[in-house]
Amino acid sequence: MYRIAVDVMGGDNPPSEIIKGAVNACYEDKLINLILVGKYDIIMRELDALNANKTRIHIEDATEIITMDEAPARALRKKKRSCINIGTNLVKDGKADAFISPGNTGAVMAGGLFNIGRAKGIKRPPIAINFPAINGETLVLDNGANTDSSPENLLQFALMGQVFAKEVQGIKNPRIGLLSIGSEKKKGNKLTKATYELLVEDKRIENFIGNVEGRDIFSDTCDIILTDGFVGNVVLKTTEGAASFFLELLKSAFKTNWRAKLGALLLKPYLKKVLNKIDYRQYGGAPLLGLNGVVIISHGSSDDVAIYNAIKVARKTIENNVVKLIEAEINDEEEDH
pLDDT value, residue 258: 85
Q: Where are the domains of the chain?
A: 1-122+290-337, 127-282
Q: What are the two backbone dihedrals, phi and then psi, of residue 130, each rounded to the nearest 5 degrees?
A: -85, 125
As a whole number, mean pLDDT of residues 274-293 equals 82
As a whole number, mean pLDDT of residues 177-189 equals 93
Average predicted confidence (pLDDT) for the chain? 92
CATH 3.40.718.10 for domain 127-282: yes
What's the gap between Cα 190 and its chain centre? Answer: 28
Confidence of residue 14 (pLDDT cuts 50, 70, 90): very high
- Asked whether the predicted pLDDT for residue 24 surpasses 90, the reply is yes
Distances (CA, A) of 254 to 139, 212, 251, 261, 291: 33, 36, 5, 5, 46
pLDDT value, residue 278: 67
Whether the bond into 279 is cis, omega within 30 of 0 = no
Check residue 310 and report its DSSP letter: H
User: Which pTM was predicted?
Assistant: 0.91
Q: Do domains 1-122+290-337 and 127-282 have the same CATH topology?
A: yes
Q: How far apart are the first and last CA of the chain?
A: 38
> What digits encode the pLDDT tens for the residues 206-255?
999 999 999 999 998 999 999 999 999 999 989 888 888 888 888 888 88
> What digits encode the pLDDT tens for the residues 69-99?
899 889 999 999 999 999 999 999 999 999 9
- Asked whether the predicted pLDDT for residue 284 surpasses 80, the reply is no
> What digits encode the pLDDT tens for the residues 109-153?
999 999 999 999 999 999 999 998 888 899 999 999 998 999 999
pLDDT value, residue 327: 95
CATH 3.40.718.10 for domain 1-122+290-337: yes
